[in-house]
Amino acid sequence: MKSVLVIGLGRFGKHIVEKLNELDHEVMAVDRDEQRVNDVLPLVTDAQIGDAANKSFLRTLGVDNYDVCFVAIGDDFESSLVVTSYLKELGAKKVIARASREVQRQFLLRTGADDVVYPEKQLAVWTAIRHTTDRVLDYIALDDEYGIYDLSVPEEWHGKTVGGLDIRKKYNLNLLAVRESGRSSMAVNSDTQLRQDQTILVLGKWKDIQKCFRI
């Protein structure tokens, strides 16, 4: 269980809070908007209404006591920069900030953010890949090149073994798991036989996925 501070309770911040609650972490939520704070009260350990860009207010939260601090402010980049800077100055162990453009990412990193996320960009990439091919059922980006893809088993692979297909040697792809009826099995070896009613989790570059699965 982690102790987490979430600053900014717009759509992105609220989704973070919901997931943290689902994972049974202790969450302190902060926003200037009283209604936003009230909306997440059932999901958090504690909540405060206040301006996190005010250093005196931020100090009262004891930010150095949290394992992770999320700066989820989406509509005021100046405040996001100020909050990120203050968090590090006050001893925050790990600060994850939100950005919408590369230039914002650079400024946030210089200000002290340990990592920066692009929720809109990441969702846009996922949407573009997911909905332009019937083969890809889900997708998780690992970095600018690599991702994990949930793919339907091609018709011509039905009844063949993982070893016989040898996609690692041919396409530099790693088959991580086989999914069936919503359950994943990581016990994949060269003798694992694939069926059309299954899906597979594959790690690799998008260009290699395209070649292998003829997307």
**Based on the domain organization, do 91 and 149 belong to the same domain?**
no
- Does residue 77 share a domain with residue 14? yes
Rounded Cα distance between 127 and 215, Å, is 16
93 and 142 in a single domain? The answer is no
Query: What is residue 206's predicted lDDT score, i.e. its pLDDT?
Result: 87
Whether residue 131 is found in the same domain as residue 171:
yes
Do 112 and 127 lie in one domain? The reply is: no
CATH assignment of the domain containing 148: 3.30.70.1450
Choose one of 92, 117, 142: the last residue of a domain. 117
Number of domains in the chain: 2
Are 101 and 65 in the same domain?
yes
Residue 62: its pLDDT value, please? Answer: 95
Q: What radius of gyration do the chain's Cα atoms show? A: 21
Give the list of residues 6+ apart from residue 126 with CB closer than 8 angstroms, or none.
139, 141
**94 lies in the same domain as 148:** no
Report which of 109, 112, 50 is spatially closest to residue 86, judged by C-alpha positions: 112
Asked whether residue 163 falls in the same domain as residue 74, the answer is no
Q: Are residues 13 and 55 in the same domain?
A: yes
Q: Answer yes or no: is pLDDT of 126 > 70.
A: no
Any idea which of 105-109, 119-123, 182-186, 196-200 has the lowest mean pLDDT? 119-123
Residue type, 121: K
What average pLDDT does the structure give for the chain?
Answer: 89
The pLDDT of 17-40, averaged and rounded, is 94
Q: What is the pTM of this model?
A: 0.66
Segment 30-43 mean pLDDT: 95
Provide the CATH number for the domain around residue 77. 3.40.50.720
Place of tokens 């982690």: 2
DSSP state of 40: H
Q: Where is pLDDT greater, at 68 or 142?
A: 68
94-121 per-position pLDDT tens digit:
999 998 888 888 999 999 999 988 777 6
Q: What is the pLDDT of residue 46?
A: 96
Residue whose token pair is 């609220």: 14
Domain span including residue 109: 3-117
